[in-house]
Structures are given as C-alpha cells and as structure tokens.
Amino acid sequence: MKHDIGKLPEILDRHPKSQESLIAILQDIQKEYNYIPCEALTETATALSIPLSKVFAISTFYNAFSLTPRGETIIRVCTGTACHIRGAELIKDQIETALGIKAGETTPDGKFTIEVVACVGACAMAPVVINNEKYHGSVKVSGVKKLLKVKK
Amino acid sequence: MQIKEVEHIKKLRNKYLASQKKFPRKVMVCCGTGCLANGAGKIVDAFTDALDKREIKHFAVEAIKETGCHGFCEQGPLVIIEPSGTFYTKVKTKDVDKIIEQSIERNEVIESLLFAEPKSGEKIEKYGDVDFFKHQHRLALRNLGKISADSIIEYISVGGYKAFAKAVTTMKPDEIIDEIVASGLRGRGGGGFPAGRKWRTCREAAADTKYVVCNGDEGDPGAFMDRSIMEGDPHAVLEGMMIAAFAVGADQGYIYVRDEYPLATTHLQKAIEDCQESGLLGENILGKDFSFSIKIARGAGAFVCGESSALMRSIAGEIGEPRAKYVRSVIKGLYDQPTVLNNVETYVNVPLIIDKGSSWFKGIGTEKSSGTKVFSLVGKVRNTGLIEVGMGTTLREIIFDIGDGIIDNRPFKAVQTGGPSGGCLPAEHLDLPVDFDTLTEVGSMMGSGGMIVMDDKTCMVDVAQYFLGFLVEESCGKCVPCREGLFQLHKLITRICEGKGEEGDLEKMEHLSQTVLTASLCGLGTSGPNPLLSTIKYFREEYEAHIRDKKCPAGVCKSLIKYEINDKCTGCMACIPACGYDAITGEKKKIHILDQDKCTKCGACYAVCKFEAIDVS
Amino acid sequence: MVNITINGKTAQAKEGEMLLSVIRRLKIDVPALCHHEAVEPLGACRLCMVEITKTEWDGWSKFVTSCLYPVEPDLIVSTHSDQVNEIRRTIMDLYLARHPNSPEIRKLAEEYGVLKTSYEVQVDGDNCILCGICTRICDAMGFHAISLVGRGHGKTVAPPLNEAPPDCTGCLSCALNCPTNFIEFSDQDDKRTIWNKEFEMLACVKCGATTITREFAEHLSKNRDIPFEYFETCDSCHRKETSLTMGRIAAWTKEAQS
Amino acid sequence: MKNRFIVNPVLCTGCRTCELACSFAHSVDGQMGRSRIYPLDGGMTDLWVPVTCLQCEEAACVKSCLVNALRRNPDTGAIELNEDICVKCMACIAACPFGCALHDTQHDLIIKCDLCGGDPACAKFCPTKALEYKPFETKKKKLAG
C-alpha cells in the first residue's frame, strides 16, 4: 500500500539537511501522519544523504516513533514509579478491558491506541492518563470510562 | 529591545518595574503541566474574559501572570494574589468572579478557597505559611510561581541576567570557574560530580570548538523537577548555560529535552528567541568578544539517553547508545569535542553562585554537598509535589514536615530515591541527612531527586520487579550483562511475584547482580540492580514470604492474593460494573458474590468499594 | 613505547593502543565475541574484561574491557584473575541461556566450565548474539546495508524495513565474519542469496568459474577505479594468462639473445 | 637500493621447490600453508614460469580492499595482508589481473606473497636461480656508475 506523503517536502524544508536534524524530522513526520510511513523513511534518508539502514535503526530505537499507523485517539497510560505505586496497573487494566485491546495495540476501527509511557513528569497527580494531549490526573477506576469518551 | 551593554539590562528592569506599579494586586495563576491538567488554562481565560466584560479598577491583563509550577500540583489549579501572598487552591472557573470582586477589588480573603492543612484542618491564608512551603529553601525553584514563565522582561525584573552580565564584564573565565569550584556545586543529575572541576577540564582541553550541553532528559520515573524548571523558568537555564559557555570557551550550546515535555520545549524555544532578539545570544554579546547560540534537541523516548555519551549521540541524530568512557566526554564529547554537560538544576544554580558568591552558596547544605536539592515528593504521601530543601535535611523532615506524612495515616514503609539507579530505604534511615554521599552509603542514590514514598500497602518485591521491568524495557541492548543480565533478573523476580520462587533464588539474583554491576558498559547497567539489592537488603523477609509462604504481605502481587467480599457489603452494586470480567454478581441490598475462577485480581472492585467490604488476603 | 605488566610479565606497548591488541600479541587467550580488527571496538560482549591496577592506586583495582581501553604507562593487568573469570563465567552462562543451540557459544561456555545455564532458557532464541560485527563491517565497507534494529532484549540485525536491502552488494562479509555463523546465505551455481536478495555471480569468461557478485564488482569498479574487465576472469585463469605472457616474453628474450 | 624479484623463466625447470619453500615459510598452526607461488606452463616446450605477486605500484588488490587490510610494507615494498583485518570478501582475488591473490581454502584465509618480510624463501631455495631477490640495477644506474 502506498501512503500519501505529500507533506514531506515541506517538513524536510523546515530543517537543515544534516544528520543532526534526523530525529526532529522524524518527530515532525510522526506529528503529521500519526506514525512514520515507510516511504517517508526512504525519502528522508535520501534527502539527508544518510543510509536507509541508519534511519531505520534510529526510528526503531526510540520509543516515540511508530512505524505502524496508530489510532485517532492515543491513550497514554503513565506507568512511572509514582503512578505505579498509586495503581497505574489497575487503570491500564481497566482501559484495556474497556477498549478490548492490549497496551501497544490499536482498536480494529482505528479509533484508539493504548500506549504505555515510562513517566510524563506529572507525578504529583498520579496516576496519570493522557488522552491525545490532554492530561488527566488522579485517575480513578470510576473515571476511566468518562476519560475515554473525551475527544480532543 | 536591544541589550548591548550591562546598563541596558538595568534600564529595562527599572522601566518594567515602574510600569507594574499601576497594579496594586496581581494574580498569579500556576500554569505548570499539573495545574494546566487541572484546568488552569480555563482559569486564565476566565480572568481575561472578566476584564473583557467590564473595567476593573487597578487591574488589567498585564497583572495576570501565567507562572511556572509551584510544585504543589496536587492542589491545582493554584492562584496566588500578590503582594499579599493569599493562596487559593483547587480554584474553579466559577470562583474567578468571586476572586476578582473580593480579593482584587476589595483585598479580602476568600476563606473557602484557602488551603487546609490535611492533619489539623486549619485554613492557611498565606502561601509561605503552608507547611508544604514553610520548610523549603527555594533556590533552583526561586522564580517558579513568581514570574510569567516565558517572559524575558519578567525574568530580568527579578534580577535575571544580572549574574551573566557580571560574569562577562567583570570576571575572567578562570575566575568564574574558581568561583564554581569554591562553591562546591555538584552535578544535580545523579552522579554528583563537581561541576567546577568538569568546567576546568573542559576549559583546559585544547580544541577549537567546545560545547555546553544541558541535560533536560529527565528520564527517572517519578522525578519532574527539570520539567518544571524548564517550563517555569527557562531563562534561568539559559543564563546558567551562558555563564558556563563563557567560562569554558564554548560558542554552541544544546538543550536536550525529553519528548514527553512539549511545554518545556515551547517555553525554552521562546526564551532562546527572545534572547537572540535582544542580543543576549548571538555574536559579540554585551559588546564583548563572546558569541554563543543555543539549540534545542528533542529526545524521542529513550531513558538511556540521560547517559552522557548516549545523549550526545542522540543530539547528533544517531542511535542513543552509550559508549565506553575511558576518554571522558569533557575531553571528547559531542562531535568528539570537549563538552560540558550538566543538568537543568545544576545550571540554574550557577547564576545564583555568581551573583551572591561561592561562600554564600557553600554556607547552605552540608560540607561535601553544598546548596539545596529539589525533590519530587510523590507516592503515598499527603502533600505531593516538587520541593526544595537544603542538603542535609533529613528524610523525616521532608516526608513528615513538608509531605505531612502518609496518606490515610498508614505506616511509613520505605522511600525510594534515585529512580531506577537508586534504592529503597526503610524507616530506620528516616533520620538520615540527605546528601550525595549519605544516600550512596546506605545503598541508594541521589539520582535526579525522585522521592517516592511507600506505605505498608506497597510490596517491595513488586517495586523491585517494576524497576527491573522498566530497565529491561529501557536497556539499549548493546552490552550483554545489561541486556541479558537484567532480563534474567526480571525473569527471576517475576517468578517470585508469581509464587514460583525457589530457595536460592535470592542468592542467585545477588550473584548475577554483581556481574551486572561490574561488567555493564554504562550507568544504566552498573546501577540497574540497585533497587533489587536494596530491597533484598532491607526487606528480605518480604521476599522470603513470597518464596517460602507464597504470600504477598502487602497484598499486591496478583498471583498470591485473593479478593473476598465480607459482610460489610451493603449491596450497593458499585463493584459489579467495575469488574471487567463479570466475576461479581449480586442483587441490590444483598451481599454480592465474587466468583474466584473469573477473578483476575485486578483490584477494581477494591478500588471502588466505599464500605471496606472487600478483603485482600 | 611504554612498559606495562601483564600477568606478572613486562610487556611493551604503544601508548594509546588498545589493551586487547597487546594481550593478543602476547598470545594470551582472552575471549572476545564482538571484536574484529577491521572495525572500531564496541565493548558489547564484555568477555575481554581484565582487571587493571597501578602501584600508586594503593591496592585498588578496576575492571575494564580491554578491547577499548587505551594503554597507559605502568599499568598492571591481570587477564585471568578469579573475579575476571567469574564475570566471564556469568556472561557465558547468560549467553548460553539465550543461545542454547549455538555450537560456538556452547564450546566457549564449556571452556569456562558452564555446561548448563543457571538461567531461564530462551526456547525460541536464535543464534544471533547481537555483537554487531556484521553491521560494523558493512558500515566500514561503506555499504550500510544492514543495521541493528530496535533496542534492548528485542534487538535484531536486519535490513531496513525488513526488506531486501537496496544497498547490499552481496559481498558476504557479514555472514563470513559472524562469530556464530548465524547469517544465512546460499551460493548456488551462478546465484547468491543473502538477506532475501538475489545476486548474479560474475562468471569467468574463460572457464565459467564464479568469483564475486556483479553488484560488488560494479561497485568496486566504479568507486575504486578498477577496470571492470579485471573481474571478468577468475584468478586461476588470470594466473594462466600471466604465465603465458611471461613465457612469451621469455621466449622473445631468449630468441633475441641467441 | 631495494631488492626486487627477478624472474628468469628460461632457467626454471618447474621443479616446484619454490612452491614447497613458500608453503613451509607460511605455515598455519604448524601445518604447511598454501603456496603463494606457482611454476606454471609458459606455453612453450620446457618453459616454466614461476608466477607470483608483482607487488604492483598501483595495485588493484589494494584498491579493492574496502577495509584496508592490504597495505604496503614501507621496508620491503611488499603489499601485505593483515589477516586480522581481512573480512574475506574475496574482492582482492577477483580484482588482481595477475591472479596472485589466493584463497587458502584449507585454512579459510586470503593469502598473497609478502616477500617473507624481506627474505623470500622461494628465491632462497631456487636451485637454478630462475628466481632471485636482489637489487635491481637499472641501465641508468649503470651509466651513472
């Protein structure tokens, strides 16, 4: 399947053509498409004159990058220490049950992806769940369903 | 607004302070990530909207300050009326009109919005009188909550860039380094290496290009001080870096910011642009032969990139794998050039030291660890948040005076410091004065300052398993002891949590840990077994209960516990929908029945039950 | 040159050269699974760890990977101290848990007395020990066709996007230098397959024997300024040609002299 | 004046002593290695040519080695192969137009003549002086002398 990567030249133009820009470019691509289409990897490698193997290695090394399409809504469950101590596991479990998928997966209708993040630095409000960009603190079991309904 | 000489800074400051005199009262709305999550953005909008609707005496948009994080995130959104320091917590949009009418127009205190000390229930009016703030000594967090986070002029108005101006125009680079060395400032990122010594080595290294790098990749789960500082006082970070650059002779700086901190990136970016515009960054700064610029490099979600050599490779757009540091990065760092790398908290201390002198700084804290340290006090403690205390403050003071003790008056069990590289300390160490060396001596670490408080409902085996799991996920996979060793340690401890532990497992784990500690390539591996070793050391009997008796005393490890409904059940039916596995059945006002075969021990029923009708055993 | 002491004997070394090179020069057997002289040392397998100290360190010693530790004057090195052997033993134990079917790993583990792993065996494990020799050689040769992909325990060696690598020329250096012979390839008649990519082998125009792949030869010819026809004849036919040419010259000379 | 190989096929009897000497000189783990020199049929009756590396000035083998395992020894002028660096890609074997880079299949090594570090065994043992290793006197030198 061919992916539309029409915005790529624009993204590439925003950055100097050096290896130093690679991670920032990949982040911008992911922001635009919600994931990194493989055509974009190839094009980026060519544009920056970096071997494709290196670009592939980098895009798989860093957690932030996804090479497969993700859901419209990305539910990030923080599992930092503070959140863990305050029951993040249970919240994760509840979200998984509610959406019928496991962390790291996307619902078949492409609506939701659950991701587990190591710490989002909002430890005082543990446990924390992020619905797209919106932070929800002190999440309780009873609040999970409501939280999932929130659209961005 | 161009700053070409020191006088310009002074002039700007005076002009701005004069312009602010119009407003006898100001509203400080905390807009740290925590308060924003609790709706601080809407509070700011509500204040602005109110101004749109009608004219308010002595009040204008300029008097509403979107400040950085106060650290008391749990009570957010926080609103403070200055100069009285009236402290309102958990403010809602509907409270805004009331605040304007009563507190701003009439200078009255709204009792209902005040913070009540959890223990005594006493309402406290002023910010500085709250227990949480009273015991703190805020240096690194000096401007958080005091100024608009992303405004250069506000930073200048509280004395910002004064130290930089002093350094560049009146001091020689070597004098600056002498001052930092004399201050005893140690790296706040974890290792505690003396910052001044690092700077000196870098200055003395022969090279045309040198770099100053700020580590803002706060990867330790449970720590968020760097985030708050970068978001709330970005100019202080820049000022520290600028002084360092001048001292070591660098002309390019980088700030490596975690991917998870978008607001920090935005604010830092704005701060850099403002500095470039005003001439504080760029060529011939303050008319001197000194040029410096700063770029932001964003991380992409890799804990290991907090390690210096991995971080530098990541900045260069490569895989963040550490390399062996038999040649130190201060000699051969970013792009193989001499590089000074310090973390956010370290840099923000620098302007203070230059401004007030090393002996002032040395007077704070302990002999070998001078100054203060910011901790993120989180977990099962009543007041959670970001705090800053002088080095040498005891754990007890931090947890019980500032933190106000344990939630629900449960017993204190342990405190975890130093993140995945640190350890868990039991109650017997509560009177330990916290500094770099004491923590290391008892098997933990300062780390970046995460302090996670645990009560008797926290299982220490589970905590160790959690950290090992985290490290297995985050290991870069380059060297065998870390990649395979931590993996096997995690397997072993998981078996213990599942009730499949065997006699001798503890010894096997201790033995394997030794190899991981000695033979791993970078800090992730050489400190990785610390949470495991410290919990075995201090909570061995809890491990033995898991292995021998197949019991989890804290009631956490799923395979070893059982949920049961007791006769306190009122038949409220709250737990039935909470259980995602249809394990609970029952009718209204009749004691519900839990089907053990269907129960996954997720604990949802326990969490929703308001009548203590669910037992864990 | 500086003097260092290795296992009680004085040795000479160039300052800054890696300790492992000196140890190997002295024919002391120190294992290393991620080391290849063609590429920069990586320090990944940790087997070449040795214990070092100096007289002035006052009894204090440390463990370093000799493959990337630059020699300093007056270093006192112990390549097989008890603790070093214990580290190697544990590492081999870990290797054996992950790669129980690799003959090379089994043999080395046996040398350190590990016949059976103490840890949980990874049943579906393969024989790739993630030493990165293949990828580093591929980089050093300038192809960058394959790389280490992912991170942590789930890291693998793979071509980009897990498809036939566009930059691979089928030189086989990755496979031939793999310490556990993990990388599969096949040479059949005039076809070579590696990384799911098929290559045409250049056949000798005279005898039909195959030498290297056409892509590799074209790469060398283009980037290294070597006439392509050099690659079209095999080495044995080249030698025959040489002898015939020299024979003709000799005959002429003889004729001219007589 | 540096020594050079001087080959005189007319004197070669094809006795293969050079081959034997070379094999012995390049033993691997105490076993005989593969010879770097081969007396081959010169195409005419009773004419043998000992074929070995000419240490070309602009050598295709050196150019073809992408990991720089082949380097010229400044003392002897020989292009020597560093076996530790060699990745066995066979490029040198394919590139040499004289067929003088060889594959020792028994020990799986790439081999080529290294002039025995300055005293080639083949020349030393050649009974007929078909192979000599000595200073090469140019005509120019003669005239000057």
pLDDT digits (tens, 9 = 90+) for A73-131: 999 999 998 899 889 999 999 999 889 999 999 999 999 999 999 888 888 888 999 99
Query: Is A78 found in the same domain as A57?
Result: no
The residue among C169, C210, C220 with the most chain D CBs within 10 A of its CB, best to mutate, is C220
Q: Grade residue D55 by pLDDT with cuts at 50, 70 and 90.
A: very high
Q: Grade residue D61 by pLDDT with cuts at 50, 70 and 90.
A: very high
Spatial distance between the Cα atoms of B414 and B455, rounded to a whole number of angstroms: 7
Spatial distance between the Cα atoms of B295 and B238, rounded to a whole number of angstroms: 11
Q: Is residue A3 in some structural domain?
A: no
Q: Encode pLDDT of B345-386 as tens digits.
A: 999 999 999 999 999 999 999 999 999 999 999 999 999 999
Residue B90 CB neighbour total at 10 angstroms: 15
pLDDT of residue D142: 46
D85 touches chain C (CB under 8 A): yes
Question: Residue D130: its chain C contacts at CB < 8 A?
Answer: none
For the segment B263-279, the average pLDDT, to the nearest whole number, is 96
Among the ranges given (B120-134, B153-167, B388-402, C35-49), the one the predictor scored with the smallest mean pLDDT: B120-134
Q: Which CATH architecture has domain D3-144?
A: 2-Layer Sandwich (3.30)
Question: Residue C158: its chain A contacts at CB < 8 A?
Answer: 56
Taking all residues of chain B, what is their mean pLDDT, rounded to a whole number?
Answer: 93
The residue among C15, C39, C46, C81 with the most chain B CBs within 10 A of its CB, best to mutate, is C46
Contact criterion met (CB below 8 Å) for B3 and B278: yes
More confident residue, B476 or A133: B476
With touching defined as 3 or more inter-chain CB pairs under 8 Å, the answer for chains C and B is yes
Q: What does the domain layout of chain D look like in residue ranges?
A: 3-144
Q: Could D98 and C242 be called an inter-chain contact, meaning their C-beta atoms sit closer than 8 Å?
A: yes
pLDDT of residue D4: 84
Spatial distance between the Cα atoms of A54 and C225, rounded to a whole number of angstroms: 27
Q: Grade residue B530 by pLDDT with cuts at 50, 70 and 90.
A: very high
For the segment B213-240, the average pLDDT, to the nearest whole number, is 94
Mind giving me the DSSP string for B410-468?
PPEEEEEESGGGSEEEEGGGTT-B-SHHHHHHTT---TT-EEEEEETTS-HHHHHHHHH
Mind giving me the DSSP string for chain C?
-EEEEETTEEEEE-TTSBHHHHHHHTT-----SS--TTS-----S-TTEEEEE-GGGTT--EEEEGGG-B--TT-EEESS-HHHHHHHHHHHHHHHHH-TT-HHHHHHHHHTT-SS-SS---TT--S-----HHHHHHHHTT----EEES-GGG-EEE-GGGS--TT-----HHHHT-TT--S-EEEETTEEEETTEEEEEEE-TTT--EEEEHHHHHHHHHHHT--GGGGGS-HHHHHHHHHHHHHHHHHHHHHHH-
Torsion of CA A126, A131, A133, A137, to 10 degrees: -20
Q: Grade residue D139 by pLDDT with cuts at 50, 70 and 90.
A: low
Question: Model ipTM?
Answer: 0.93
pLDDT of residue D145: 39
Q: Is residue A94 in some structural domain?
A: yes
The distance of A54 to chain C (nearest Cα, Å) reads 7
pLDDT of residue C29: 95
Q: Could A124 and B385 be called an inter-chain contact, meaning their C-beta atoms sit closer than 8 Å?
A: yes
pLDDT of residue B580: 80
Instruction: Please name the residues between 51 and 90 in chain A that touch chain C, using a CB distance below 8 Å.
Output: 51-57, 60-61
Question: Residue B494: its chain C contacts at CB < 8 A?
Answer: none
Smallest CA–CA distance from A45 into chain C, residue: C160
B426 touches chain A (CB under 8 A): no
pLDDT of residue A3: 67
Mind giving me the DSSP string for C161-174?
GGS--TT-----HH
* Plot region of B504 (φ>0 → left; ψ -120 to 50 → alpha; else → beta): left
Identify the CA nearest to D107 among candidates D26, D16, D21: D26
Query: Is A87 found in the same domain as A43?
Result: no
Residue D137 has pLDDT above 70, yes or no: no
Q: Could D66 and C239 be called an inter-chain contact, meaning their C-beta atoms sit closer than 8 Å?
A: no
For the segment A32-39, the average pLDDT, to the nearest whole number, is 93
Residue A141 CB neighbour total at 10 angstroms: 23
Q: Grade residue C253 by pLDDT with cuts at 50, 70 and 90.
A: confident
pLDDT of residue D138: 60
Taking one residue from A and the other from B, the number of pairs with CB-CB distance under 8 angstroms is 176
C43 touches chain B (CB under 8 A): yes
Query: Of the CATH numbers 1.10.1790.20, 3.40.50.150, 3.40.1390.10, 1.20.1440.230, which one belongs to the domain with range B461-549?
Result: 1.20.1440.230
Question: Residue C147: its chain A contacts at CB < 8 A?
Answer: 51, 53-54, 56-57
Q: Is residue A67 in some structural domain?
A: no
Query: Is A135 found in the same domain as A82?
Result: yes
Domain count, chain A: 2
Instruction: Please name the residues between 474 and 503 in chain B that touch chain A, using a CB distance below 8 Å.
Output: 474, 476
Q: Could C247 and D49 be called an inter-chain contact, meaning their C-beta atoms sit closer than 8 Å?
A: yes
The distance of C175 to chain D (nearest Cα, Å) reads 10
Binding-site residues on chain B for chain C (CB distance < 8 A): 302, 319, 323-324, 326-327, 472-481, 483-485, 487-488, 491-492, 508, 511-512, 515, 518-521
Domain of A22?
Answer: 8-61
Question: Residue C151: its chain B contacts at CB < 8 A?
Answer: 302, 475-477
Q: Could D9 and C142 be called an inter-chain contact, meaning their C-beta atoms sit closer than 8 Å?
A: no
Q: Which tokens is B396 given? A: 């007890």
In the numeric block, the tokens 């089928």 are attached to C170
Q: Encode pLDDT of C118-156 as tens digits.
A: 999 998 889 999 999 999 999 999 999 999 999 999 999
Taking all residues of chain D, what is their mean pLDDT, rounded to a whole number?
Answer: 89
Q: Which fold has domain C2-80?
A: Ubiquitin-like (UB roll) (3.10.20)
List subunits contacting chain B, requiring 3 or more Cβ pairs under 8 Å. Answer: A, C
Residue A151 has pLDDT above 60, yes or no: no
- What is the helix (H) or strand (E) element at residue B494, kind and residue range? helix B486-497
Identity of the residue in A85, A120, A141 whose CB atom sits nearest the CB atom of B260: A120
* Plot region of C24 (φ>0 → left; ψ -120 to 50 → alpha; else → beta): alpha
For the segment B102-116, the average pLDDT, to the nearest whole number, is 91
> What is the 8-class DSSP label of residue A118?
S
Spatial distance between the Cα atoms of C70 and B267, rounded to a whole number of angstroms: 43
pLDDT of residue B348: 97
The values of phi and psi at residue A142, to 5°, are -65, -20
A104 touches chain C (CB under 8 A): no
Spatial distance between the Cα atoms of C105 and C93, rounded to a whole number of angstroms: 10
Spatial distance between the Cα atoms of B335 and B330, rounded to a whole number of angstroms: 12
Spatial distance between the Cα atoms of B565 and B568, rounded to a whole number of angstroms: 8
Question: Residue A60: its chain C contacts at CB < 8 A?
Answer: 149-151
The values of phi and psi at residue B454, to 5°, are -125, 145
CATH 3.10.20.600 residue ranges in chain B? 372-458
For the segment B533-541, the average pLDDT, to the nearest whole number, is 96
pLDDT of residue D141: 47
CATH 3.10.20.740 residue ranges in chain C? 2-80
Smallest CA–CA distance from B478 into chain C, residue: C44
Q: Quote the CATH superfamily of domain B152-357.
A: NADH-ubiquinone oxidoreductase 51kDa subunit (3.40.50.11540)
Q: Could C176 and D100 be called an inter-chain contact, meaning their C-beta atoms sit closer than 8 Å?
A: no
Query: Is A51 found in the same domain as A22?
Result: yes
Q: Grade residue D28 by pLDDT with cuts at 50, 70 and 90.
A: confident
For the segment D40-47, the average pLDDT, to the nearest whole number, is 83
Q: Which tokens is A94 given? A: 């509840």
Q: Encode pLDDT of B1-32 as tens digits.
A: 689 989 999 999 999 999 988 888 999 999 98
The distance of A46 to chain C (nearest Cα, Å) reads 12
Residue B411 has pLDDT above 80, yes or no: yes
- For B107-120, letters b (16+ CB in 10 Å) and e give eebbeebbbebeee
- Is the peptide bond preceding residue B77 cis, with omega within 30 degrees of 0? yes
Residue C100 has pLDDT above 90, yes or no: yes
For the segment B270-279, the average pLDDT, to the nearest whole number, is 96
Look up the pTM and report it: 0.93
Residue B23 CB neighbour total at 10 angstroms: 16
Distance of CA C71 to the CA centre of its chain: 23
Q: Grade residue C239 by pLDDT with cuts at 50, 70 and 90.
A: very high
Identify the CA nearest to B270 among candidates B240, B299, B296: B296
C174 touches chain A (CB under 8 A): no
Q: Which tokens is A86 given? A: 């305050």
Q: Which fold has domain B21-129?
A: Glutaredoxin (3.40.30)
Residue B83 has pLDDT above 80, yes or no: yes
Spatial distance between the Cα atoms of B80 and B114, rounded to a whole number of angstroms: 10
Among the ranges given (A140-144, B484-488, B518-522, D21-25), the one the predictor scored with the smallest mean pLDDT: A140-144
Query: Of the CATH numbers 3.30.429.10, 3.30.450.90, 3.30.70.20, 3.40.50.2300, which one belongs to the domain with range B562-616?
Result: 3.30.70.20
Smallest CA–CA distance from B605 into chain A, residue: A141
Q: Could A125 and B379 be called an inter-chain contact, meaning their C-beta atoms sit closer than 8 Å?
A: no
pLDDT of residue B594: 92
CATH 3.40.50.11540 residue ranges in chain B? 152-357
Spatial distance between the Cα atoms of B35 and B38, rounded to a whole number of angstroms: 5
Identity of the residue in C150, C160, C165 whose CB atom sits nearest the CB atom of A61: C150
Residue D135 has pLDDT above 90, yes or no: no
With touching defined as 3 or more inter-chain CB pairs under 8 Å, the answer for chains A and B is yes
Edge to edge, what strands does the sheet with B86-88 contain?
A: B64-67, B26-30, B79-82, B86-88
- Residue type at B490 in one-letter notation: H
pLDDT of residue D144: 44
pLDDT of residue A152: 35
Q: Which fold has domain B372-458?
A: Ubiquitin-like (UB roll) (3.10.20)
Q: Which tokens is C58 given? A: 């006052």
Identity of the residue in A85, A120, A142 whose CB atom sits nearest the CB atom of B379: A85
Which burial class, exposed, middle or buried, applies to B148 when counting CB atoms under 10 A from its CB (0-12, 13-18, 19+)? buried
Residue A132 CB neighbour total at 10 angstroms: 13
Smallest CA–CA distance from D42 into chain C, residue: C247
* Plot region of B39 (φ>0 → left; ψ -120 to 50 → alpha; else → beta): left
Identify the CA nearest to B376 among candidates B389, B393, B366: B389
B373 bridge partner residues: B389
The distance of B422 to chain C (nearest Cα, Å) reads 21
Spatial distance between the Cα atoms of B30 and B28, rounded to a whole number of angstroms: 6
Spatial distance between the Cα atoms of B434 and B452, rounded to a whole number of angstroms: 14
Spatial distance between the Cα atoms of B196 and B187, rounded to a whole number of angstroms: 9
3-state DSSP percent of chain A in helix, strand and coil, to 5: 45, 10, 40
Torsion of CA C238, C243, C247, C253, to 10 degrees: 90
For the segment C160-167, the average pLDDT, to the nearest whole number, is 95
Q: Which tokens is B562 given? A: 């059982």
